[in-house]
Amino acid sequence: MSASIMNRFSMLVRPCKWKTGKLYGQLPENSFADLDLVRAGTKYVMNSAGVLVLRAANEPAFGYRYDGANVVQNGLRIERAATNLILRSEEFTNAAWNKVRTTITANTHTAPDNNLTADTLTVNATGACRLNQVRTGLTAGQEFVFSVYVKAGNVSEFSLDGLDSGESISSSARFNLATNAITIIGSNYVQSGTIEDAPNGFKRCVARMIIPVGQTTLNANIQAFPAVLNNNIIIWGAQLETGRVATTYKATTTGSVTGVADAYSKTGLSSILNNTTREGTIYLVLRRDLQSAAAELLSLTQAAGSTTNRLLLATTADDRIRAVVTNGGVDQADIQSAATQSGTIHVAFAYKDNDCQLYLNGASVGTDTGVTIPSNLAELFLGGVNVTNNAHYWMRLYGYCPERLTTAQIASLYTNLQSAA
């Protein structure tokens, strides 16, 4: 890490210590950098031992991920509210799941949360097999994400399917658990798929779906492939939710379950933020997936109780990064990257009057030289506070420097932070 540049920062939060309702910062060493968390619900994340665990309500959801065979830090999970519409998400023997040419044997394997609750799906007759739940009363264009934790049985392929009520219109995302290959078959419902490693040999497989024109039903189906007698896979933790990206898993029984948004905030920061010369640099390191969804908040710095004076870092609806300056209710700057952004991203926004610049991964992506910076900034928000669209990312670092760092300094900072990550 470039110590000489980091020493210029007056606020630094790198998620590593927390308690209920609080995420501790590193700079300053008093409580000014400690963020308050409001999340009235639990959240699943993977811990350092490679096991899915539940973080308690108002407990920061720091998590890990697989990088090959290694478990590595992923950061602090910040995401929108979302509802799992599937019933009995871990009980595939239950009557909530329709079964055709399919036998479910309960609790045969250790699930990603280390409990013996994963079930075996076995084809009991050759032909298209069905394990599904049906949503009705939908409209064309509605978007859903269907996800399941799956482990290879005696076959390593299976599909997540979207079908109409009569099963005459369908499409599939076929997953190869051995190679991580995904094949999209048809386009009536399923648009794309993703796959990621999960604990205990499972993989979380995700299919993004759109309700076709003229349809009002979604039959969300799981089937082993090939659908031949006695072929089997291991399944756990099904989730169906609206939107374009899978949120953290929410277990259900008799009804749907909603996971509430993560809302981190800090007020009373007027002495930390540079309101005298109205300049500074916001530095945010995050990991995110491509979503092409509604624009989402990354960070918000604003006047006390008001969004009419603010500095906003966000995504656009087509996955570009943007920086917005609003003063007196008037947008002074709206700088946007030209390319979509996913994976690990270093976002830096350096600003002062008539000199604003947005950087991604150490390189400038846009400037604005006709800007008046607001002079009464006092609050910081990460996640769903005072905004309509909520974030969906892993936060690795947040920093604030009371100086408008130069292009060379930001490039140096990126190089050193990247090597230290």
The stretch 395-403 carries a mean pLDDT of: 94
> Residue 390's pLDDT is what?
67
With respect to residue 91, please indicate whether it lies within any of the assigned structural domains: yes
> Residue 386's pLDDT is what?
47
The stretch 65-92 carries a mean pLDDT of: 92
Q: Which one of 201, 235, 259 terminates a domain?
A: 259
| pLDDT of 385 higher than 90 | no
User: 271: closest CA among 376, 397, 404?
Assistant: 376
User: 333: closest CA among 283, 371, 303?
Assistant: 371
> Residue 1's pLDDT is what?
44
State both tokens at 202.
């499972």
Same domain, 392 and 266: yes
Q: d(Cα 25, Cα 96) in Å, to the nearest integer?
A: 45
Q: How many CA atoms lie within 13 A of 352 on its CB side?
A: 12
Give the helix ranges, DSSP H, for 227-341.
Answer: none
Same domain, 167 and 235: yes
Place of tokens 């045969």: 108
Q: Provide the pLDDT confidence category of residue 419 given band limits of 50, 70 and 90.
A: low
Same domain, 220 and 340: no
Single-letter amino acid code for the residue at 354: N
Higher-scoring residue by pLDDT: 391, 55? 55
Same domain, 90 and 211: yes
Same domain, 249 and 129: yes
Same domain, 252 and 193: yes
With respect to residue 62, please indicate whether it lies within any of the assigned structural domains: no
| pLDDT of 420 higher than 60 | no
Q: How many CA atoms lie within 13 A of 64 on its CB side?
A: 19
Same domain, 101 and 27: no
Same domain, 243 and 269: no
Q: Which one of 259, 294, 324 terminates a domain?
A: 259
Residues 349 and 358: beta-carbon distance below 8 Å: yes
Same domain, 383 and 398: yes
Model-wide pTM > 0.85: yes
Q: d(Cα 385, Cα 265) in Å, to the nearest integer?
A: 8
Same domain, 197 and 308: no
Place of tokens 């990126």: 414
Q: Which one of 259, 283, 303 terminates a domain?
A: 259
Query: Model confidence over 144-176: pLDDT tens digits?
Result: 999 999 999 999 999 999 999 888 889 999 999
With respect to residue 331, please indicate whether it lies within any of the assigned structural domains: yes
In terms of Cβ atoms closer than 10 Å to its own Cβ (0-12, 13-18, 19+), residue 136 is exposed
State both tokens at 203.
């993989």
Same domain, 238 and 341: no
> Residue 389's pLDDT is what?
55
With respect to residue 367, please indicate whether it lies within any of the assigned structural domains: yes
With respect to residue 69, please indicate whether it lies within any of the assigned structural domains: no
Domain that holds residue 97: 82-259
Query: Model confidence over 314-339: pLDDT tens digits?
Result: 988 888 999 999 999 999 999 999 98
Q: d(Cα 64, Cα 46) in Å, to the nearest integer?
A: 5
> Residue 31's pLDDT is what?
81
Say which CATH number the domain at 96 has.
2.60.120.260
The stretch 182-197 carries a mean pLDDT of: 95
Q: Cα 63 to the chain's mean position, in Å?
A: 12
With respect to residue 48, please indicate whether it lies within any of the assigned structural domains: no
> Residue 5's pLDDT is what?
87
With respect to residue 59, please indicate whether it lies within any of the assigned structural domains: no
Q: What is residue 128's DSSP assignment?
A: -
With respect to residue 369, please indicate whether it lies within any of the assigned structural domains: yes
The stretch 193-198 carries a mean pLDDT of: 95
Same domain, 322 and 238: no
Say which CATH number the domain at 358 has.
2.60.120.200
> Residue 291's pLDDT is what?
65
Query: Model confidence over 241-289: pLDDT tens digits?
Result: 998 889 999 999 999 999 988 889 999 999 888 888 999 999 999 998 7
Q: Provide the pLDDT confidence category of residue 388 given band limits of 50, 70 and 90.
A: low
Higher-scoring residue by pLDDT: 386, 361? 361
Q: What does the radius of gyration of the chain's CA atoms come to, in whole angstroms?
A: 23
- How many domains does the structure of the chain reveal? 2
